[in-house]
Amino acid sequence: MKTEHLLIALLLISSVACDVVKDPVVAPGQGVTPGEGVSRKVLLEDFTGHRCNNCPEAARTAADLQALYGEELVIVGVHCTFDFASPSSPPNADGSYSTDFRTPAGDAYENALGVNFLPNGAISRKVFNSSLLLGQSAWGSAVADLVGQEADFDIWFSQLDFNGTANTVSAEVKVAVLNPITGDHNLTIYLTEDHIIDWQLDNQATPPNVPNYEHRHVLRTNLNGTWGVPVVTGNASVGDTLTFSYPNFPLNSAWVGENCALVAYVYETSSYEVMQVEEGKFQP
């Protein structure tokens, strides 16, 4: 744990009431000794919804933490729950809250991880104080506890090419084992979109219905299924390196490719704990 990060992170956190609902290589070509200099990055999955009036404050907490930790912290906004993330029904006359940011994967995580209130978050899906899901006031200390630990895996994008004409992305992801591993582990790859302007209910705004809210790091889809693909089955030895290729993956025409990114993470399948994560933006 980095003490100075923890102290600053605690200063960033403010409590809010919740809405209740039902590289062995650091990078190719660097010539680094296997395992040397690779630390654990942290994934913050911010479970959110555009009709959750406390969720923007949680998003601001996440942004403050990312400003503190930089690339050591990867954030994904997972829009979920029917009450807070579904479009208004019947539709509103002004077109507000008509977008459905939910995804099949997000719905599956909502059920599997037990998301029953918003805002809520998982910090590398690790259990803290007997809970996998944490309110925003606990995010800072949880991130500080994990970030910079010795990593069991390294992940990097050996290829990441966005073709704006064809509106496709091609990626090659490498996963290297840095310590002896036991237990089954999978690789999941998210596709996220940033800087989406749309409606959001925000109890800190006047008026609270904000038509031009900036939605950040929004989960759009998964490249390799909701739960990913196996990386380790049973056990793995130091030095094992696997390559996963995803050529010409099509983007939805409504997404802005220049604002998209891939988030690749390895997690332990029985506990869901994320052991390492890496983000690759389409436009650096």
Peptide bond before 208: cis, by omega within 30 degrees of 0? no
Q: Go through the domains of the chain in sequence order and give each one's CATH number.
A: 3-151+187-230+253-281 (3.40.30.10)
pLDDT of residue 37: 76
Q: Poorest-confidence range of 2-6, 8-12, 173-177, 277-281?
A: 8-12
Mean pLDDT, range 35-62, rounded to an integer: 94
pLDDT digits (tens, 9 = 90+) for 133-190: 999 999 999 999 999 999 999 999 999 999 999 999 999 999 999 999 999 999 999 9
What number of residues does the chain have?
A: 284
pLDDT of residue 117: 93
Q: How far apart are CA 79 and CA 239, in angstroms?
A: 37
Q: Which helix (H) or strand (E) holds 142?
A: helix 139-146
Residue 192 pLDDT level (bands cut at 50, 70, 90): very high
Q: For residue 108, what are the CA distances in angstroms to 200, 216, 229, 277? A: 23, 21, 16, 20
Asked if residues 175 and 267 have their Cβ atoms less than 8 Å apart, the reply is no
Residue 3 has pLDDT above 50, yes or no: no
Both tokens of 107, joined, read: 């719905």
Contacts of 166 (CB under 8 A, 6+ apart): 248
pLDDT of residue 36: 62
Contacts of 93 (CB under 8 A, 6+ apart): none
pLDDT of residue 30: 34
More confident residue, 78 or 7: 78
pLDDT of residue 284: 77
More confident residue, 2 or 192: 192
Taking residue 272's Cβ as centre, other Cβ atoms within 10 Å add up to: 18
pLDDT of residue 197: 98
